[in-house]
């Protein structure tokens, strides 16, 4: 496996691990490689409140930077109903449960023959 390939899988694993540590709920990973130029993985998770969603996003951003995966962009703070964390090869959507249900990104981004995966890929 090439170094770039390993780095994106390490980043994906780091994101899933950090979300689990921060008690994010209903973590879903959708592989996008070869299907979208946006990223190689989309991860969707929920927090119980706007405060938890904001906290998860900020900790995730710090963890990704500290691990050397480059700058991270965050959009959606301080409202924190839906926060997008763009870590390059992995894009993370963090929602309050009601907002997640409304937008239903899992259905929108699931591709025929490729179902979203719960938790770790």
Rounded to an integer, the average pLDDT of 50-55 is 97
Task: Encode burial over 7-35: b for 16+ CB neighbours within 10 A, e otherwise.
Answer: bbbebbebbbebbeebebeebbbbbbeee
Mean pLDDT (the chain, rounded)? 89
Q: What mean pLDDT comes out for the span 29-33?
A: 91
- Strand pairing partners for 84? 75, 93
The residue-averaged pLDDT of 71-98 equals 96
**Position 112 pLDDT exceeds 60:** no
Q: What's the half-sphere exposure (Cβ side, CA atoms, 13 Å) at 81?
A: 7
Does the structure show a pLDDT above 70 at 30?
yes
Please determine, for residue 115, whether its predicted confidence score (pLDDT) is greater than 80.
Answer: no
Angstrom CA distances, 14 to 42, 65, 76, 94, stand at 13, 11, 22, 16
Say what the pTM is: 0.88
Per-residue pLDDT tens over the stretch 98-108:
999 999 998 88
Determine the Cα–Cα distance for residues 77 and 48; give it in Å rounded to an integer.
Answer: 16
> Domains in the chain, please, with CATH?
3-118 (3.30.460.10)
């Amino acid at each position: 496996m090439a170094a770039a390939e390993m780095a994106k899988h390490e980043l994906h694993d780091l994101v899933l691990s950090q979300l689990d540590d921060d008690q994010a709920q209903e973590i879903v990973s959708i592989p996008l490689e070869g299907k979208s130029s946006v990223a190689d993985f989309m991860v969707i998770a929920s927090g119980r409140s706007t405060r938890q969603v904001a906290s998860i996003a900020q900790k995730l951003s710090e963890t990704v930077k500290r691990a050397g995966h480059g700058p991270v962009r965050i959009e959606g703070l301080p409202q924190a109903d839906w926060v997008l964390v763009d870590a390059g090869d992995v894009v993370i959507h963090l929602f309050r449960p009601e907002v997640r249900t409304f937008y239903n990104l899992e259905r929108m981004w699931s591709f025929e023959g490729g179902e979203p995966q719960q938790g770790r890929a």
